[in-house]
Amino acid sequence: MTSKNSFLVNLKQNAVRRTWSILLFAIMFFFLLPVILMLNFSSLIKYADGQQLSVQMLNSFKDVAVLNPFIMVVTVIFAVIAAIHGFSYLYSRKKTDMYLSVPVSIEKRFAVIFINSILMYVVPYFIFLVITIIIAGTYGVSDAYTIKMAFVSFGVNTLFYLAVYAVTVIAVMLTGNLPVSVLGAATLLCYENGVKMLLLSMFSNYFKTYTQYSDGEFFKTWFSPVGIFFLFQGDFSSAIRESQSVLPIVQKAALHLAVLIIAYIVIAFLLYKARPSESCGKSMSFKKSKKVIKRFIMVPVALVFLLFFESASGGSLGGAVFGLVAGILLCHCVMQAIYEQDLKAAFKDKRSIIYTAVIAGFIFALFKFDITGYDKYVPDENKLVSGTISLDTPFGNRASFYDDEYNNVTGDHYRFSKMNVTDKSLLCDIAYTASQEIDNYSKGYSYNDNPYTITATMKYTLSNGKDVYRNIYFNYKENEELLNRIFNDVNFKENYIQLFDSVFAKYESLYKIRYSNDFITESLEENINSELINAYKKDFINMSFSDVDNTLASGYLEVFAIVYNDSVNGGSQNTGSNDTTNVYYEFPVFDSFENTKAVLAKQGIDINAKVGKEDILSITVYNYIDDTEPVEITDTDQMEEILDNVYARSQAYFSAVDSTVSNDYDVDILIKPEKYNGYYAVNCGFKNGYVPDFTKQN
């Protein structure tokens, strides 16, 4: 009983010593929770639409009690304050001697500070959260799910607080004064994610085949509570806003944080017991930790300087080496001065300079000269399960894609989730071809350097469950057979555009379809939708790369519908709602599409039709080579000659490759108003090899 009372007395005494921290925490939670909610509610009552008021008030309550970003920020600040203030007596020799003279065990003293640090965060947070819920209830906001999520958020925030607190305590135990403790805490909290961001920058800078879809590897956090919580907040808020289950997300984050808390508290306690009392006021508590910590910091700092000076010098090797040396020397001198608290000690421990230079230089060489062969990656066919080929073509880039809720998604996102090419030989041949040609792209990917380049983003799914992503480049003129093999793969074709899946088919009966090549635009009768779409599917499946690599698209099909959102979600379309979704697709039509041409011909449409010369008012030619004044042409014969030798820009936008067109000239063809009930201009370009002499006059 006496022991219990003694512990409670110590707890109370420690709380009195930390009164200002407790008041600060309480005041901040008062403003962050009930005050902000009241301000939001008063604003909504004054300005919000009455019919939407209850919904907006619920959303406001959710933003304050569940998804409040300011709580994340103050949680980090509170944890750092609690850890540093709780053990601040360690910075003073007198205070340390006084504490050691009191007959209280090390374990009990550590436990008292730790428990008080928990209570000073948890108690005011919980009290003001309950008050916030009560206030919301008085306004009629009492959603059980949101209240439950508020307490879930409270629990995870508390774990986050304890994890940051434990890391900061470790920093306090390793250091001997306040400024260095703050720097140490910031370093420990940010080091893992900072190094990963540095590596991400180096991957994207030095590897030509690196793609943003590999970024996920760099955002997986194992040791930093800040990184773990940041990812949790993103997943948690998305799940709540989309009414998805949060249980797996919460369990994963809570377990991860709990494991870190236990590990870090044990480490902090062991350091607390081992910390020499004479370290008070010094920069570092343990001599053996100085060099290790310094070198761990010097390496990434040197690489950051290297990247900066290499970029500033236009990518020169000399600039990179200068940045490396400057970063090492500057970081070493600063840290030595901080360690020894003496500027004269800046150049002590020269071995660290040598060790850091070797390590940082080796890392730089790995990336700069691709020693690991990253850019020449070819998957092992025996370990390959399937893959995705997101080929970069003009018509593929113009394609529209929707998820099941008819939200727009990118082409890569759609293909990575749908396409499952199982021809391992094809996938490995693509990777091998790209690896053999990667050195041709050392100067970049511009048209002038590599006019016949075709690119793709590859996803290789391996037998161990790992997905490997790469951007690849190769010459399509020299690899036509390989591209024909890609185009012959049915899984590639059926998932390259969103023509063959259920999302497209769901509203096939509602679609309106037009054919256009910019010169003509013709609407089609809705009763031929099914026939035209089936004909187009046959042509698209049968299309080879050889059919389209040297030709422009003749035109394109516009397929569109206005769908009521409740219809998208499975309800009736005729609700009178104005909340609609526009579903819009564009598909290229090539001259080789015989089935499509036959259906369009039944509608009286020639896919290559243009306006007649008698319909043209004038033609203006813009010469970008000589940068001369535009030439306006009104002569009938000259206009006819030009008309026979131009293509509409939209034809290029829907082609298979980019290099079949030239942008040296623009040709604007102005159509007479009586043709289209108003002036209408078609933007064109000259076909390769044709530029009439009469357009070159100044």
Q: Are residues 213 and 246 in the same domain?
A: yes
Task: State percent of the chain over pLDDT 90.
Answer: 68
Strand-pairing partners, residue 391, are 456
In our burial notation (b when 16+ CB lie closer than 10 A, e otherwise), range 385-418 reads: ebbbbbbbbbbbebbbbbeeebeeeebbebbbeb
Same domain, 99 and 229: yes
Tell me the C-alpha distance between 327 and 334, whole Å: 11
Helices then strands, each counted (H, E), the chain: 27, 12
Are residues 459 and 387 in contact, defined by beta-carbon separation less than 8 angstroms? yes
Looking at the domain assignment, is residue 71 inside a domain?
A: yes
3-state secondary structure at position 606: coil
The alpha carbon of 427 is separated from its chain's Cα centroid by a whole number of angstroms, namely 26
23 within a domain of the structure (yes/no): yes
Residue 35 DSSP code: I
CB-count burial class (<10 Å; 0-12, 13-18, 19+) for 217: middle
How confident is the model over 598-616, as pLDDT tens digits? 999 999 999 999 888 888 9
Q: What is the pLDDT of residue 616?
A: 92
Examine the pLDDT at 575 and tell me if it is beyond 50: no
**pLDDT computed for residue 574 by the predictor:** 39
Is the pLDDT assigned to residue 544 strictly greater than 90? yes
Q: Give a yes or no: residue 291 inside a domain.
A: no
**200 and 87 housed in the same domain:** yes
Domain assignment present for residue 292? The answer is no
244/132 same-domain check: yes
CB burial of 30-65 (b: ≥16 within 10 Å; e: otherwise) equals bebbbebbeebbeebeeebeeeebeebbbbbbbebb
Residue 289 maps to a domain = no
Mean of pLDDT values over 137-157 = 93
How far is Cα 515 from Cα 586, in angstroms, rounded to an integer? 10
Same domain, 61 and 118: yes
Per-residue tokens: 113? 């500070």
CB-based contact 639:427 (threshold 8 Å): no
Backbone angles phi, psi at 451, to 5 degrees: -70, -20
Residue with tokens 């660290």: 352
pLDDT value of residue 208: 92
Residues 381 and 307 in one domain: no
Q: Does the structure show a pLDDT above 80 at 696?
A: no
pLDDT of residue 565: 61
Q: Residue 654: name the closest of 537, 555, 584 by CA.
A: 555
- What is the rounded CA–CA span in Å between residue 149 and residue 67? 9
Tokens representing 644?
Answer: 């026979």
Residue 617 has pLDDT above 80, yes or no: yes
The pLDDT of residue 577 is 43
Domain end call among 447, 474, 496: 496
Tell me the HSE value of 406 on the side-chain side, using a 13 A CA sphere: 21
Look up residue 116 and give its two tokens.
């008080």
Domain boundary among 602, 629, 649: 602
Inside any domain, residue 246: yes
pLDDT tens digits, one per residue of 474-489 = 999 999 999 999 999 9
Q: How far apart are CA 429 and CA 384, in angstroms?
A: 13
Give the per-residue pLDDT at 50.
67
> What is the domain extent for residue 70?
2-284
What value does the mean pLDDT of the chain take? 90
Confidence of residue 625 (pLDDT cuts 50, 70, 90): confident
Nearest CA to 110 out of 270, 257, 259 is that of 270
Strand, coil or helix: 71: helix
Distances (CA, A) of 354 to 129, 545, 618: 54, 56, 73
Per-residue pLDDT at 182 exceeds 90: yes
| Claim to verify: residue 583 and residue 651 sit in the same structural domain | no
Coil vs helix vs strand at 601: helix
How does residue 242 score in pLDDT terms, banded at 50, 70 and 90? Answer: confident
Q: Over 90: is that where the pLDDT of 664 sits?
A: no
Average pLDDT estimate for 568-597: 74
What pLDDT score was predicted for residue 8? 84
Query: Quick check: is 290 in a domain?
Result: no
Same domain for 72 and 101? yes
* Same domain, residue pair 523 and 439: no
Alpha carbons 350 and 354: distance in angstroms, whole number: 7
Q: Report if residue 608 sits inside a domain.
A: no
Reported residue count of the chain is 698
Measured at the alpha carbon of residue 47, what is the angle toward residues 68 and 135, in degrees to the nearest 5? 45
Q: Could you read off the pLDDT of 349-406 as tens digits, one per residue? A: 889 999 999 999 999 999 999 999 999 999 999 999 999 999 999 999 999 999 888 8
Residues 51-93 pLDDT 10s: 678 888 999 999 999 999 999 999 999 999 999 999 998 988 8
Among 136-145, 209-218, 345-354, 442-451, whose mean pLDDT is lowest?
442-451
In whole angstroms, give the CA distance from residue 411 to residue 18. Answer: 56
SS3 564: strand
Contact by Cβ (8 Å): 509, 573: no
623 - beta bridge partners?
Answer: 665
User: Are residue 586 and residue 646 in the same domain, yes or no?
Assistant: no
Query: Of 319 and 508, which is predicted with more confidence?
Result: 319
Distance CA 109, CA 99 (A): 9
Say what the pTM is. Answer: 0.85
pLDDT at 154: 97
Of the candidates 341, 354, 348, the residue with the CA atom closest to the CA atom of residue 298: 354
Residue 694 pLDDT more than 50? Answer: yes
C-alpha–C-alpha distance, residues 360 and 93, integer Å: 39
pLDDT score at 572: 38
Same structural domain for residues 245 and 205?
yes
| 625 & 660 share domain | yes
Q: Are 163 and 225 in contact (CB under 8 A)?
A: yes
User: 493: helix, coil or strand?
Assistant: helix
Last residue of a domain, one of 261, 284, 307: 284
Q: What are phi and psi of 469, to 5 degrees?
A: -110, 140
What mean pLDDT comes out for the span 270-278? 90
Q: Which two tokens stand for residue 314?
A: 């236009």
Q: Which of 277-286, 445-454, 658-667 has the lowest mean pLDDT?
A: 445-454
Split into its structural domains, the chain has a count of 5
